[in-house]
Structure formats: C-alpha cells, structure tokens
Amino acid sequence: MSRAGLDVVGLFVDAGRRMYGEHVSQLEHALQCAMHARRDRAADEIVLAALLHDIGHLLEPTGDTPHHHHGIAAAQVLRAVAPSRVAWLVEHHVVAKRYLVTIDTRYRELLSPVSRTSLTLQGAELAVDEVAQLEAHAWFGDAVRLRRWDDAAKQPELVCEPLIAYRSLLETCLGPQRWVEKTGIDR
C-alpha cells in the first residue's frame, strides 16, 4: 500500500552516520537489526520495524524518559505514514527491554553499557499490571523478538546488506525514497 511518505533515506544520510556510544553507527545498527529479522524469516512489516526501530534518535535526538522516549517519538511520525504494526513495534521496543529485564534476571547482564544506562532513564522494571498488559497484546511476541535483534545488532565487524536492499519494502510501505549516490546508502 502506498502511503503519504517518510524520507527514511534522507534521515539515514543526514544522521545515520552518527555514533551513539555503541561500536556501530545508527545506520549500521539499523541494518544489522533488519538483517537479523530477515534471517529469522520475519514478516515484511516486522523487518521494516526492525530497520526503523531507532529513527526516533534521528528525528528527535533528546534524552529518554519513561513517558517520552525515542520509540514514542518515532511512533508519532510512523502512525501517519506506516502500517500500524510497524508504528506499534517501534514504540514498544523500549518497553520490551523493560519487560525482559523484569521477567529475566540474566537479561540485564546481556545489555550493552549504553543500553543499561538508557534502561534507567526509560523506567527500568515494569509493574505487574504493565507486564500483563504487554503480554496480552497481539504483537507482544514480535516486540520481544525485535528487542532481541536490537541487542544483537551492535557488532562492529558484522557485514550486512546496504539500505537499498530494503528499497522495495521501504517504498511499498512509505512511498518513494530519494536514493543518493556515493553515500554508502546505495551499495
């Protein structure tokens, strides 16, 4: 379905080279996350959510709080231009981290130092009713899978497909993109 449009390529060209404390750039992190989703044979909308899950950092580079974090900032934009499952998953990948910390005591130790710091800002453990509410959602399992891909997508030496490998998916869901040569986006 063609939508009103979101210039994802422009976002990644302008800000995707930015490092954010991890050993990969925002673009590398997005591409690794989407690659994990594709390798796990996730549905197209879930792959798209994996690719876009951190664009909130590019759209609005401010600090996270429990009630206004980068997932919410991205979802506010995506709800108008992307399938609803994409927007929901992008919004809830932050809550999924808090969920995993709550139900699995070992999970926190697997987080990168940056992710552990942001966890504190995002609100840390969920309350019992928040756990139940998340688990009851139809897309809960996808949010947890996305979170696991997110955590695995911080490997500096990992080679993965370029952004243009997602051209069909991006343009089907978000409208035509401005592909720019010689930026690393197109190869």
Q: Does 28 bind Fe ion (CB under 5 A)?
A: no
For residues 45 and 150, which CB has a smaller minimum distance to Fe ion in the complex? 150
User: Smallest distance, Å, CB 153 to Fe ion?
Assistant: 7
Closer residue to Fe ion in complex, CB, 45/70: 70
Applying CB under 5 A, among 72, 89, 150, 177 the residue interacting with Fe ion is 150
User: Any idea what DSSP says for residue 127?
Assistant: P
d(CA 28, CA 44): 19
Is residue 91 near Fe ion by the rule CB under 5 A? no
Applying CB under 5 A, which part among 39-47, 66-74, 136-144, 148-156 lies near Fe ion?
A: 148-156
**The tokens 């994996």 sit on which residue?**
50
For the beta carbon of residue 178, count every other beta carbon within 10 angstroms.
Answer: 10
Burial class (CB in 10 A: 0-12, 13-18, 19+), 60: middle
Identity of the residue, 64 or 150, whose beta carbon is nearer to Fe ion in the bound complex: 150
Site map for Fe ion, 35-74, x if CB under 5 A?
-------------------x--------------------
Alpha helices in 7-139 (DSSP H): 8-15, 26-39, 44-52, 55-59, 70-81, 84-103, 107-110, 113-122, 128-135
Contacts to Fe ion by CB under 5 A: 54, 150
